[in-house]
Structure 1
Amino acid sequence: MGIAYRRVLLKLSGEALMGNLGYGIDPTVVQEIAAEVAEVVASGVQIAIVVGGGNIFRGVKGAARGMDRATADYIGMIATVMNAMTLQDALERMSVPTRVQTAIAMQEVAEPYIRRRAIRHLEKGRVVIFGAGSGNPFFTTDTTAALRAAEISADVIFKATKVDGIYDSDPHLNPGAKRYQSLNYGHVLTQDLRVMDSTAIALCKENNIPIMVFDLTVRGNIRRAVMGESIGTIVGDIYEVS
């Protein structure tokens, strides 16, 4: 089986980086993710990454505790930059050239986000990690992933989670929950399946960007996803609900 996708936007949650820890970053998990990304980059695939910050600070939770929502979201954006720099370090220790670009200016530690520069980095085989979300409060990193994927003309968004796809109900609460192999955007929105927020889904639909949801904790799944293997759930207008 050949490579199915040549330019990929990988969406990682902040929680994915903390492994079984209750908070922060698990270096072993970061190394494992970096090793998988390095393997895929070596095969000639261009990878951009959007990483969340929920392992350090989540804006919505901060706002729920009385903090100003915009302030809480900006703190969350800064947390994503910490995760981005951690991933960059892990990748570069594997000799993978990497650039962190941020939507909030932090010139001492990262480049500003410039679309053409990001695309050029990808063309040169560098992994580009987008930090600080979209630079705007009230928007999630899921929406950022959809936005950046559209801007760089990504072939697909990989949403790597701790679950092996999209289910019709919470598989942790319902042992009989059904896992979908494929879905269309409309079904995701009308059934409120919470794959990504509705703004992100609408952006993907408008720009015809498929979303593949799979389990990041299974070794080799990023490579399998790049090869087009059916390892989770794929969402797109061309797919039937199955």
Structure 2
Amino acid sequence: MPTIVLSLGGSILLPGIDRPNIKPYISVLKRISAKNRLFVVVGGGGTARDYISLARTFNADEAFSDELGIMVTRLNATLLVGALGSSAYPKVVESHNEALCAAESGKIVVMGGITPGQTTDAVAAVLAERVDASLFINLTAVDGIYSADPKKDPAAKKYEKMTAAELLKVVIGQQAVAGVNTVMDIVAVKMVERCQIPLLVMDGRDPSLLEKTLDSGSYVGTLVSPDGENPFPL
């Protein structure tokens, strides 16, 4: 059975507490898990950023702010576990080893952040290596990797395929520009480069696109793979 690791942004799952996007994901994740061993790493999104910004007004140190962010990711993850019901392992796991053990249940394994200073994308990338994933998918609010921020630069080029080394150059270049949010952080990209597991970066706002991609093998996003080959069908 193929193994899939999803990095699901907090702002994708919960754009706001008054406008959650959890319900559309429930049936999709359940159907995907019927055919694949599935791990989902949930981010903190805007809620985590709000808490961290507030903490900084009190002159809280960065380690404390990181811990706050991790708590929010785990809260979001707990909400997803509750929504998935019996299809999910009943506890948000707090380490990669625990995730491996939880997977023996055959249920969807959900986790949030685990390490201060490390994004949930990096957590998911390490997890992909630990579980020898067939595919690592980063579900974001954009439809792939661009040469620049497409919201600010209309001339930004979207990449359909690239290698991890090429992605690393793009991310480093973007992080050098003040105020630019990159699709993935450097640690996560370096892990992808090391483990050589195919990465698909795609728009996660409509979960039906995720299911269609896995069923058809035709993706809309950016595929990052060692040889540029499409890993589908799994």
Q: Could you state the TM-score of these two structures normalised by the residue count of structure 2?
A: 0.83
Q: Which residue does 1:119 correspond to in 2?
A: 103
The structure 2 residue matched to 1:8, chosen from 4, 9, 32, is: 4
Partner of 1:130: 111
- Shift of residue 55, structure 1, vs aligned partner: 3.1
The one-letter amino acid of 2:101's match is R
Q: Which residue number in structure 2 is paired with residue 30 of structure 1?
A: 22
Secondary structure at 1:160 match in 2: strand
- Separation in 2 of the partners of 1:191 and 1:219? 27
Whichever residue aligns with residue 127 of structure 1, its letter is I
Of residues 202, 207, 232, the one that matches 1:214 is: 202
Q: 1:100 aligns with which of 86, 91, 94?
A: 91
* 1:41 Cα deviation after fit: 2.0
Residue 192 of structure 2 aligns with an amino acid whose one-letter code is C
Q: Specify the alignment match of 2:131 in structure 1.
A: 152
CA apart distance, 1:38: 1.6
| Separation in 1, partners of 2:40, 2:153 | 32
Residue in 2 that maps onto 1:238: 227
Match of 2:48 among 57, 77, 80: 57
SS in 2 for 1:57: helix
Letter in 2 for 1:35: S
Report if aligned partners of 2:126, 2:191 keep a CA contact under 8 Å in 1.
yes
CA contact (8 A) 2:63 2:117 kept: yes
SS in 2 for 1:191: helix
* Letter matched to residue 67 of structure 1: A
Distance 1:113 1:237 in 2: 26
Runs (4 or more) in structure 1 with deviation over 6 Å come to none
SS at match of 2:192: helix
Q: Which structure 1 residue ranges, 5 or more long, are not aligned?
A: 105-111
Query: In 2, Cα distance between the equivalents of 1:143 and 1:162?
Result: 17
How far residue 212 of structure 1 moved from its aligned partner, in angstroms, is 0.4
Rounded Cα–Cα distance in structure 1 between residues aligned with 2:88 and 2:6: 17
Q: By how many angstroms is 1:224 displaced?
A: 2.4
Distance (Å, rounded) in 2 between the aligned partners of 1:120 and 1:25: 35
Identity among equivalent pairs (%): 29
What amino acid is aligned across from residue 209 of structure 1 in structure 2? I
Q: Supply the distance in 1 between the matched residues of 2:212 and 2:55 (Cα, whole angstroms).
A: 38
Residue matched to 1:107: none
Q: 1:173 aligns with which of 152, 175, 179?
A: 152
1:83 shift after superposition: 0.6
Q: What TM-score results when the alignment is normalised by the length of structure 1?
A: 0.80
CA-based RMSD: 2.4
Provide the C-alpha distance between the structure 1 equivalents of 2:145 and 2:18, rounded to a whole number of angstroms: 26
Whole-angstrom CA distance in 1 between matches of 2:153 and 2:6: 28
Q: Structure 2, unaligned stretches of length 5 or more?
A: 175-181, 230-234
> Could you say what secondary structure the match of 2:92 adopts?
strand
Return the alpha-carbon distance in structure 1 between the equivalents of residues 104 and 66 of structure 2. 29
SS at match of 1:40: helix
The 5-angstrom pairing of residues 198-213 of structure 1 reads 198-213=186-201
Relative to structure 1, the CA distance from residue 178 to residue 208 in structure 2 (aligned partners, 3 Å threshold; closer, same or farther) is: same
How many pairs were matched up?
217
More helix by share: 2
